[in-house]
Amino acid sequence: MTDTTEESKKSKLSLAKPGKLELNKTVESGQVRQNFSHGRSKMVQVERRTKRTFALDSGGKMSEVKGGAKAKAEAELPDALAEAPAVQEAPPSPLAEEVPAANLTEEERAARDRARAEAERFEAERRAQAEREAEMREKRREAEEAEQEQQARAEVERTAEEQVVQEPAVDPAVADLPPTETAKPREARARTDRAEDESADDSRARGKKTVRGEKRPSPSPRKGGDARRRSGKLTISEALEEREERQASVARYRRKLERERQKSQEMRTEGQRVIREVVVPEAITVQELANRMAERAADVIKTLMGMDVMVTATQTIDADIAELVVEEFGHKIKRVSEADVEDGLGGGEDDEENLQPRAPVVTVMGHVDHGKTSLLDALRATDVASGEAGGITQHIGAYQVQLSTGDKISFIDTPGHAAFTEMRARGAQVTDIVVLCVAADDGIMPQTIEAIHHAKAAAVPIIVAINKMDKPDADAGRVRTELLQHDLQVEEMGGDVLSIEVSALKKTNLDKLAEAILLQSELLDLRANPDRPAEGVVVESKMEQGRGSVSTVLVQRGTLRVGDIFVAGSEWGRVRAMVDAHGEQMDNAGPSMPVEVLGLNGTPEAGDEVVVVDSEGRAREICEFRSRRKRDASASALAGRGTLEQMFERIKEGEAQSLPIVLKADVHGSMEAISSALGNLSTDEVRVQILHAAVGGINESDVTLARASGAPIVAFNVRANPQARDLAKRDGVDIRYYSIIYNLTDDMKKMLSGMLAPEVRETFLGYAEVKEVFAVSKVGKVAGCLVTEGQVKRGSAVRLIRDDVVIHQGELSQLKRFKDDVKEVTSGTECGMAFANYQDIQVGDIIECFDVEEVAREL
């Protein structure tokens, strides 16, 4: 018990012993100047922390172990720790150095042994890792060296072959050697350069420095015994001898190979690029242009921005800018006119072997309440008139009637003649035959006369149906006699116009009327090709609730089928359904077949042409073009009327030799007098064609007829009603008002005089004789002439006379006096003359100069 107490007293650290346990400051501070690579420097405050160790000294007091004991500790450490790499390590404990090993306790001894074993193990692992890394680096270097040597050998051989091709002249001494012998020095130099570079890299890796001026050890020769880089100074003789052997460096060959690889890749890329032929109209949107080039719209917009054209994908650009964009992308451009979108629309003419007989299309025209619809009812054996409001036809109807003989006739029932003229005004020649319905009790009425004029203007044959023969006061002879006043001679009076007496109420002689129509159709030889895309015309168009746009279409040639994409005027659609006149669904409709078509996206106008196209894109393109053209026409018509001026232009171009007019007068006597005066103005070359002459004010029917025929309206002491004025203003029909007959005849005389071809007169200027002929570049042959009579003017007409025979007539393109251009040269003066588009000039030719002027003719 006593021993345990004494041991605990000895091991206990107490401050009661003499001396104190003190802790001084362990951080030493100072300043260090820090220098930078760009030349600046600054002072930096630094601190150094030190570890203080205390131990018992010989007197039994705690004292700090100073640095003198460190050398003793290092001497005691084994050699393995002394040979450790020069790495900053924590200094060994001064306590371990100061205290001898015999004074250490068992725990301190074990700790020291553990530290020593840990240091030895760490050093062994570090050395093994270093050896493995060195071995891997050596293998990688050898693989890279072998690959580079193989590439260099291939490059040198290829370069040698190229040099042999490019430089046929070779040194005879070298030419006798085989190619491998010639390439050896170059290979040796290349390998030597790489070996030296790698040797330098290894030296740097091992931390060795090459002293300036010290020669590098020559590497051992490689396999094959190739020569190494020359040591010592290079003399002029050696340089001259080896100049031909010296070649470009390997780096240069590598750069060349990279350029060739990039070039070949670009060529392959260009070969894969598809060069397209881009069709560009006069105006096209950016998105559509990108689609036609198969490029992204963003790339096209970026290209346009580079041209200082700021647009979006939906904006329109003109053809010139589009051409620059197409060429920028490397495609080929094909510019087309805006009207070219209609090229090929409807196809061409049909072959004779494909044509088959078709049913005639008949239009029934006549005065109000003369029995047009009742006549059709009798032919169709249906009561359509009872469904009309007030017994008057309010819409256009198209029907096909099949006779007992099996023949078919297509009828178009019109409200008067307005729709008939509307269709003709749009260039649609729909009707083959016109049936003129005249009531036997009323005779010829004003609308009957207008119907006759419209039928004559359309140049279609007329069949007169004298209706209401069942009435007691019916007089067919009076009707035939009145028709003579309007230049219609029936067969009973020695003419060629068929006339049939019928009664729609009693259904008499309807078979004779049908026979007359079939006879007339046989004379016309009506045929069409049913095996082709359909073409036709819109007879009627309307909007119906629940059905949309419904159009009555008369197929003229081809076959219209359900599902076809078609264009009707400025509207397009797909045939969703077809209904005939009896309300039955149809899958297809052949030539001369009227059907109701559903599927249009808009309502076309009567008379618009219907054409089947192959795609929706083509249909949209055509409709957009037609819509733009319609807007432009409306704008020009509103801007100002120029019908007569345009007519004069057509007359000057030789397109018109007759002057069509619509005449309206206040009284019948004035109308006859004006008609007689205008007839007297006509000559063999020009004449006045009165399309329609009537008494009364100008109505909408007159404006429609004038627009369809391109004729002015001549009004004598009458005016147009508001509806006719608005219609004339909209359609651009010119209305001329007169109150004095002499002013009217004078204007007509001036218009007819303008139709006459002008008289051409020649004025002689002078003669010139060719003295010499010179050949001038960019001009051709120039004749050196002497003016013998009169004068010569630049731009005048000339004749070249050789042996008193005129061999050329043209214009004088150049007239020079010495080297100056002159306007004219007088008699007795020399000059130089050149002809436009003519080079056959010889010495001795005579040049006759004259002026040509046109003199207007008058009646």
pLDDT at 713: 92
Residue 37 has pLDDT above 80, yes or no: no
Q: Please, are residues 579 and 596 in contact by the beta-carbon 8 Å criterion?
A: yes
> Matching CATH topology for 359-525 and 643-755?
yes
- Which run of H or of E encompasses 21? none
Mean pLDDT calculated for residue range 509-516: 87
Report whether pLDDT(221) > 70: no
> pLDDT (tens digit, 9 = 90+) per residue, 224-271?
444 455 556 666 666 655 554 555 567 788 888 888 888 776 665 555
Contact present, 587 and 554 (Cβ < 8 Å): no
Angstrom distance (rounded) from CA 567 to CA 612: 6
How many Å apart are CA 9 and CA 17, to the nearest integer? Answer: 12
* Cα 783 from Cα 211, distance rounded (Å): 91
User: When comparing pLDDT for 830 and 653, which is higher?
Assistant: 830
Helix/strand/coil for 693:
strand
Q: Which structure tokens are listed for 462?
A: 């007329």
Encode pLDDT of 794-803 as tens digits: 888 889 998 8
8 A C-beta contact, residue 197 and residue 250? no
Query: Which segment of 11-20, 434-443, 745-754, 770-779 scores lowest on mean pLDDT?
Result: 11-20
Report the alpha-carbon distance of residue 436 to residue 441 in Å, rounded.
15
The band of 28, judged by pLDDT with boundaries at 50, 70 and 90, is low
Q: Is pLDDT at 392 greater than 60 in this prediction?
A: no
CATH of domain 530-639: 2.40.30.10
For 157-180, the pLDDT digits (tens) are 887 776 655 544 444 444 444 444
- Is residue 484 over pLDDT 60? yes
Q: How confident is the model at residue 108 (pLDDT cuts 50, 70, 90)?
A: confident
Q: Check residue 227 and give its pLDDT.
A: 47
**C-alpha to C-alpha distance for 751 and 747, rounded to whole angstroms:** 6
Tokens, residue 504: 């729609």
**What pLDDT was estimated at residue 576?**
92
User: 321 or 376, which is more confident?
Assistant: 321
Structure tokens at 13: 């650290």
Rounded Cα gap, residues 845 and 768, in angstroms: 9
Q: Give the tokens for residue 70.
A: 């460190």
Task: Tell me the average pLDDT across 437-465.
Answer: 84
Q: Thinking of the domain 759-855, which architecture would CATH place it in?
A: Beta Barrel (2.40)
User: Token match 């690029």: residue?
Assistant: 273
Distance separating alpha carbons of residues 54 and 156, to the nearest angstrom:
75
pLDDT band at residue 23 under the 50/70/90 scheme? low
CATH topology of domain 277-336: Arc Repressor Mutant, subunit A (1.10.10)
The pLDDT of 352-358, averaged and rounded, is 83
Q: Residue 82: is its pLDDT beyond 70?
A: no
Q: Which residue has the tokens 């700021």?
A: 310
Q: Which of the four pLDDT bands, split at 50, 70 and 90, describes residue 22? A: low
Residue 20: exposed, middle, or buried by beta-carbon count in 10 A (0-12, 13-18, 19+)?
exposed
Map residue 589 onto helix, strand or coil: strand
pLDDT over threshold 70, residue 619: yes
Going by the DSSP 8-state scheme, the letter that residue 533 receives in this structure is B
At residue 251, φ and ψ (nearest 5 deg) are: -60, -35
How many Å apart are CA 398 and CA 537, to the nearest integer? Answer: 12
Mean pLDDT of 277-306: 88
180-220 pLDDT per residue, tens: 444 444 555 545 555 555 554 554 444 444 444 444 444 44
Residues 6+ apart with CB under 8 A from 636: 732
Average pLDDT over residues 68-81: 45
Q: Which fold has domain 643-755?
A: Rossmann fold (3.40.50)
Segment 568-589 shows an average pLDDT of: 87
Task: Please state, rounded to an integer, the average pLDDT across all residues of the chain.
Answer: 75
The confidence score (pLDDT) of residue 155 equals 81
The domain made up of 359-525 is a member of CATH 3.40.50.720: no
Q: Are 434 and 362 in contact (CB under 8 A)?
A: yes
- Determine how β-strand 527-528 pairs with β-strand 356-357: antiparallel
Q: What would the mean pLDDT of 105-123 be, rounded to a whole number?
A: 86
| Per-residue pLDDT band at 420 (split at 50, 70, 90) | low
> Do the beta carbons of residue 46 and residue 30 sit within 8 Å?
yes
The two three-digit tokens of residue 762, written as one number: 């020649």
Listed by start position, the domains of the chain span 277-336, 359-525, 530-639, 643-755, 759-855
Closest by Cα among 703, 835, 723, 837 to 768: 835
Q: Is the pLDDT of residue 54 over 90?
A: no
DSSP 440: T
Residue 269's pLDDT is what?
A: 57
Task: Evaluate whether 329 touches 303 at the Cβ level (below 8 Å).
Answer: yes
Tokens found for residue 364: 């029934």
pLDDT exceeds cutoff 90 at 12: no
How far, in Å, are 467, 468, 537, 837 from residue 507 at the CA level? 10, 10, 31, 76
Task: Find the helix packing angle between 700-709 and 722-731, rounded to 10°.
Answer: 20
Q: The pTM is what?
A: 0.46
Would you say residue 714 has pLDDT above 90?
A: yes
Phi/psi-derived region of residue 432, left when phi > 0, alpha when psi is between -120 and 50, beta in every other case: alpha
pLDDT band at 737 (very low <50, low <70, confident <90, very high): very high
pLDDT level of residue 715 (50, 70, 90 thresholds) = very high
Taking alpha carbons only, the member of 438, 398, 439, 440 closest to residue 420 is 398
